[in-house]
Amino acid sequence: MTISEAIDVAAAEDVLEGRILALFVQDTPLALTRVNGVVRAFGDVCTHDGGPLAEGEIVGGCVVCPRHGARFDLVTGRPTFPAVAKAPIYAAAERDGRIWVTLGA
């Protein structure tokens, strides 16, 4: 990720281990968290039913949808039943106390 492609989305201090921060960036529902100290960025929409993943919880490197329990791996986006489509995963980096995310593929 180059800084020219990335968007400054949040203060690093607002992204806490195991907690989820929901926001919209360029009309994209986005969620941020930390897993083992690493910032992860993912789409804040369950691919199973369109619900907000940010209302779920982080368990074992996955976000768990609060509606039906589908899990999405925060590195690959890979889902578990009942979801079958991957969740969008975005490149994220921490620089100078800020979180930068690239929304493009």
pTM score of the predicted model: 0.93
pLDDT tens sequence across 49-77: 999 999 999 999 999 999 999 999 999 99
Residue 6 lies in a domain: no
DSSP, residue by residue, the chain? --TTT-EEEEEGGGS-BT--EEEEETTEEEEEEEETTEEEEEESS-TTT---GGGSEEETTEEE-TTT--EEETTT--B-TT--SPPPEEEEEEETTEEEEE---
| pLDDT tens digit at each of 105 positions of the chain | 555 689 999 999 999 999 999 999 999 999 999 999 999 999 999 999 999 999 999 999 999 999 999 999 999 999 999 999 999 999 999 999 999 999 975
Q: CB of 12 within 8 A of CB of 94?
A: yes
Asked if residue 101 is part of any domain, the answer here is: no
CATH number, domain of 47, equals: 2.102.10.10
Could you list the residue range(s) of the whole structural domain that residue 59 is in? 15-93
